[in-house]
Structure 1
Amino acid sequence: MLHIITGLGVGGAEQQLRLLLRRLPARCEVLTLTQPGQVADGLAADGVRVTHLGMGGNRDIGALFRLAGHIRAGRYDLVHTHLYRACVYGRIAARLAGVRAVVATEHSLGAGQLEGRALNAGIRALYLATERLGRATVAVSPTVAGLLRGWGVPDRRIHIVPNGIDAGRFRFDEVRRKEARAFYGLPEDAYAVGCVGRLVPSKRFEVAVHALALLPGDVRLLLIGAGPEGERLRRLAADLGVAHRMLMTGELPGLPDPRYAVPDLPSMLSALDVLVAPALEETFGLAVLEALAAGLPVLYASAPALADLPPEAAPHARRITGGAGAYARELQRLHAARPRERHVPDAVRHYSIEHTARQLMDVYTAVLSGHDPEGRP
């Protein structure tokens, strides 16, 4: 099987792909259109062959034919595409190469945005035109499935396979907590609030920066990720007088890797005291689940992964509907109530990566048989 993805920097879809490939009982290779970053290195370390197509941009039409040639030469049984650009180009290229068993996963589709960018009629039309070239489209949550139906994708072609997590990797570890805090110079008694994800406007991390300015001096804010909003967030922290209490870690490896001196993401979650996720529109909420797996309380605005579960499945996750003031009030309450034992809620066990891999293999088996995954020819 060939997995085609837009890029392999550190991101939820990219890390999810690496986790899946560790568990799929199939021979898989990966092709990235652009940006072979830390996840590409991790895949290579896992023994997965990774090819960089070197796509120059959306107008690099030659990349389409290079991609078709790669698929044809690889004689793949199935092509699985991830993220918008890879889905559009990958489905066309697979058809040109004579591969009809094509599956696509929608990781980052929202009501008004796609992968953090505003949607428009052209994007939707191109997506729908190429979607018909595949055999199945995987939605990572019922929320995404509903949006696809609203776009006009036939219901029988949509299959919900939620993201999964390897909960054991995120289990709280006191030693990793101390090591990560020492690495970044965090005082042992500091109350560490964290945000995890790409530094893009849709994540609304500025809400956490404004909340920091309303909190006591022993509170620290850690922005774990990288992206184009980084400089703006630094300026905002300086303007609010809290730059000395905010730390930006940049991209962190999702799994331990000796080639990177920085702590990995699970270590940083052990170092935190609470996670804040203020994005108004998420397609799944993977960072929320990972934080819950580390036993952290979570304040979030959107987490479809929790929406279909009863409240008792994640008792320490609380949805916040207001702005910085609402987050600051809840953070102040949590800060005053500490310490708290860390417990892994039932919501985490509901999203096992092993279960996700089994569900995906069911889709693959049906597609390769020439039927849709519901058994219809």
Structure 2
Amino acid sequence: MRIVRLANFVAPRSGGLRTALRELGAGYAAAGHEVVLVVPGPRHARSSTPSGLVVTVPGPVVPGTGGYRVITARRALSRLLDELEPDRLEVSDRTTLRWTGRWARSRGVRSMMVSHESLDGLLRLFWPGFHAGRRASHALSDRLNRALSDRLNATADRLNRATAADFDVVVCTTEWAAAEFRRLGTANLLRVPLGVDLARFSPGRRDAGLRHTLAAPGEWLLVHCGRLSPEKRPERSVAALRELRRRGVPAVLVVAGDGPRRAALERAARGLPVRFTGHLADRDLLARLLATADVALAPGPVETFGLAALEALASGTPAVVSASGALPEVVGDAGLAAADDPGAYAEAVERLLSRDERRRRAAARQRAERYGWRNSVDGFLAAHGLPAAVTDGGRR
């Protein structure tokens, strides 16, 4: 089968979506399928990868996002899809690419929309005026926010209902992400978790030499790993460190990643023991960093899965995550969920550090072992109506 996949808003160098596209594509290819990924870029290009053929089409940069691009030329993309003649269409953008579901239906192609974001969450995060009533009385603020919340729910419901109608299958990676579809009674909804590279990200990658470079004896090493963009709320990790230091906790923070918020974060971190590494292209170095840290911070409030936090768990490092998103569901008792304020994050870090080190690291790894990529690939193939992958030794 030829599985053609479309994605927008793919980070230029890293990110959870890029990782998921790579790993799932490699799994499809290993199962014997012909895989094509179409993504936006600065110019036309084609390249062969272990995850299949990658076709890049010109797409403009979205201002203020630090490099995210989108495919906007519908006619050109429609012609490309006709040329590629997919047997299955998989789409990872339910905003600007939703129309491709209708294209697939008109050609008799089975289609899947993968929900990598919560529209409920994104609308609340970016909609101008939400929570603006805080300057007024509490009663007025509550009334304004309830009214706006109802309006945002209605907007999300309308868009999600259209998505479910346009595609044969809607796949969500967590129950939290699926909730906005379940309230509509979406019949074609499936839940398939993503995975983690359990071989690369492992407690065995812990590096005493790296730790000596990053933290002094007696200091706790915290790590924030992810894109430094507004929806990820990276400033909360810096604020949590500031609060920990105020409490007398000898913690230091490494921020691994890059993005449009980096300059502002560096300003906010002045006077604090924070090291910014930028994007870590060396994934082995990233694996060593995650395994060496004591606690990972993942403060994004609208994460629908959170691969960076799962990579930390696989490395034996527990995580403090935002209680607002899907990550509490993913990390379970291998981490702690915190309200979205510095004090709550600092308290959660202290509670994790108070646990026996061997037990907390073992619990983190055991939790991650539920999420291998093999199971994820099989689940996505089943959602496509295709048999699970097999190896020479039998079923995966």
| TM-score, length of structure 1 as denominator length | 0.77
Q: Which residue of 1 aligns with 2:131?
A: none
By how many angstroms is 1:143 displaced? 1.4
Q: What code does the residue aligned with 2:370 have? A: H
- Residues 6 and 124 of structure 1: is their aligned pair in 2 closer, same or farther, counting only changes over 3 Å? farther
By how many angstroms is 1:14 displaced? 1.9
Provide the secondary structure at the position in 1 that maps to 2:171.
strand
- Residues 188 and 46 of structure 1: is their aligned pair in 2 closer, same or farther, counting only changes over 3 Å? farther
Q: Deviations over 1:185-241 (max 9, x none)?
A: 524634221112222333332222122223258522122222222222112112xx2
- Residues 53 and 113 of structure 1: is their aligned pair in 2 closer, same or farther, counting only changes over 3 Å? same
Q: Which residue of 1 aligns with 2:367?
A: 347
- Residues 359 and 324 of structure 1: is their aligned pair in 2 closer, same or farther, counting only changes over 3 Å? same
Provide the secondary structure at the position in 2 that maps to 1:281.
coil
Mapped contact 1:5–1:86 kept (Cα < 8 A): no
- Residues 61 and 221 of structure 1: is their aligned pair in 2 closer, same or farther, counting only changes over 3 Å? closer
Counterparts of 1:90 and 1:251, CA distance in 2: 32
Mapped contact 1:92–1:130 kept (Cα < 8 A): no
Mapped contact 2:229–2:260 kept (Cα < 8 A): yes
Q: Which residue of 1 aligns with 2:137?
A: none
Counterparts of 2:34 and 2:209, CA distance in 1: 37
| Structure 1 unpaired stretches of 5+ | 257-262, 368-377
By how many angstroms is 1:108 displaced? 1.4
Counterparts of 1:351 and 1:104, CA distance in 2: 21
Mapped contact 1:82–1:106 kept (Cα < 8 A): yes
1:10-159 matches, within 5 Å, as 10-24=14-28, 25=31, 26-34=33-41, 44-46=48-50, 48-56=52-60, 63-85=73-95, 87-95=97-105, 98-113=107-122, 117-118=126-127, 125-126=158-159, 128-150=161-183, 152=184, 154-159=185-190
Q: What code does the residue aligned with 2:162 have? A: A
Provide the secondary structure at the position in 1 that maps to 2:196.
coil
Q: Which residue of 1 aligns with 2:378?
A: 358
By how many angstroms is 1:47 displaced? 5.6
| TM-score, length of structure 2 as denominator length | 0.74
- Residues 145 and 134 of structure 1: is their aligned pair in 2 closer, same or farther, counting only changes over 3 Å? same
By how many angstroms is 1:123 displaced? 6.8
Q: What code does the residue aligned with 2:291 have? A: S
Which segment drifts farther, 43-52 or 154-163? Answer: 43-52
Q: Which residue of 2 aligns with 1:318?
A: 336
Q: Deviations over 1:82-122 (max 9, x none)?
A: 133464243244456x2531111001115331696446866
Counterparts of 2:59 and 2:297, CA distance in 1: 35
- Residues 82 and 61 of structure 1: is their aligned pair in 2 closer, same or farther, counting only changes over 3 Å? closer
Match of 2:297 among 276, 287, 308: 276
By how many angstroms is 1:57 displaced? 6.7
Counterparts of 2:255 and 2:274, CA distance in 1: 8
| Structure 2 unpaired stretches of 5+ | 63-69, 128-151, 388-396
Q: Which residue of 2 aligns with 1:160?
A: 191
Counterparts of 1:219 and 1:35, CA distance in 2: 41
